[in-house]
Amino acid sequence: MASFRKLPSGNTRAEVSRQGRRLSKVFPTKQAAKEWAARQEFLILDAADKPVDHGTFAQAMDRYAREVSPTKRGEWWEVLKLKNFCADPIAETNMAKLTPELFAKWRDKRSTQVKPATVAREMQLMSAVLTCARREWGMIAINPMSDVRRPKKPESRDRLPTEDELLRLAHAAGDDLTTATARAFHAFKFALETAMRSGEIVALTRDRIDLKRRVAKLTHTKNGRSREVPLSSEAVRLIEALPQDLDPVFGLDNRLIDALWRKVRDKAKADGLNFHDSRHAAITRLSTKLDVLALARMVGHSDLRMLQVYYNESAENLAKRLD
């Protein structure tokens, strides 16, 4: 449908919305605006009657996994997810026939299988594929996912490891750092000291650590910006305890640390504890030692509001600090 609005300048803005496409243009007269709108509606409907075969959604996801995902830090997760998506019936839909309704049905079905946060992340990945297909590959004119409502964002996690859980985790992992299992928990303890993410820890090489200055330089970060992380005396001790012939220093990769952490956690019966919860615990503890700007710089947050997501000190502890 076309609509027309009189502007303060005396011109007329024509707006066309058909087949999911939205167009807008300003004209000196309403008649010119009507003629343009009628022409655009005809072109949109005519194109809809003659769809171009650009392949299936599965082919687009496969191309994205081969060409785009390798440029990202989260390549492994993306490729795995895209492979799983290709097994879903929606993957066999022709790109020209993808609609918001199809993705809404997929969302509702998926929401019965996993948590809302997982659905939201998966929808974000699907949308990235469709955006790339629209902008760079010319496979579609619009991204049908843009009109699909995302699941409600869940409240921020407030899960912190307890002292008892840390003892059980240590027992489950063992203290022989020549084994990858022990080093996975060792990496968790290092994260508790530094607030570093697991991907940053496993990418840490010896030439990026200066133990005299007590600084670790990160080049592989989530936001792509390098930063230097100050190391506590305990963080230095944890590094020095590792076998010296390992490089990267923890001798792990993203897949291995994820699998081993889950194994140790389950054995220790630390139900619901994620590796990333170490970042929450570290930021909460560090907030008592560093001011907000120094803390944001250390953990790599350019938006200070993000610190509120990770800061989880209890009201009881805050009350003690008021004395």
Query: 3-class SS at 256?
Result: helix
104 dihedral zone (left: phi>0; alpha: psi -120 to 50; beta): alpha
Q: Which of 107, 197, 279, 280 is catalytic?
A: 197
Name which of 8, 43, 37 is nearest 24 in CA terms. 37
φ/ψ of 156, rounded to 5, equals -60, 145
- Could you confirm whether 197 is annotated as catalytic? yes
Residue 137, CB half-sphere, CA atoms under 13 Å: how many?
21
Q: At what angle do helices 163-173 and 180-194 cross, to 10 degrees?
A: 150
Q: Which of 6, 222, 237, 255 is catalytic?
A: 222
User: Would you tell me how many other CB atoms lie within 10 Å of the CB of residue 269?
Assistant: 11
- The neighbouring-strand residues paired with 228 are 217
Distance between terminal CA atoms of the chain? 66
CA dihedral 202, 114, 262, 257 (to 10 degrees): -10
Q: Which of 183, 189, 279, 301 is catalytic?
A: 301
d(CA 62, CA 219): 29
- Could you confirm whether 310 is annotated as catalytic? no
Helix ranges (H only) for the chain are 30-49, 57-67, 75-85, 100-111, 116-135, 163-173, 180-194, 198-202, 233-241, 254-268, 277-286, 292-299, 306-310, 315-321
Residue with tokens 């650009």: 54
Helix, strand, coil shares of the chain as percentages rounded to 5? 55, 10, 35
Q: Which of 134, 157, 276, 311 is catalytic?
A: 311
- Could you confirm whether 301 is annotated as catalytic? yes
Query: 3-class SS at 30?
Result: helix
d(CA 30, CA 14): 8
Give the active site residues: 197, 222, 301, 311
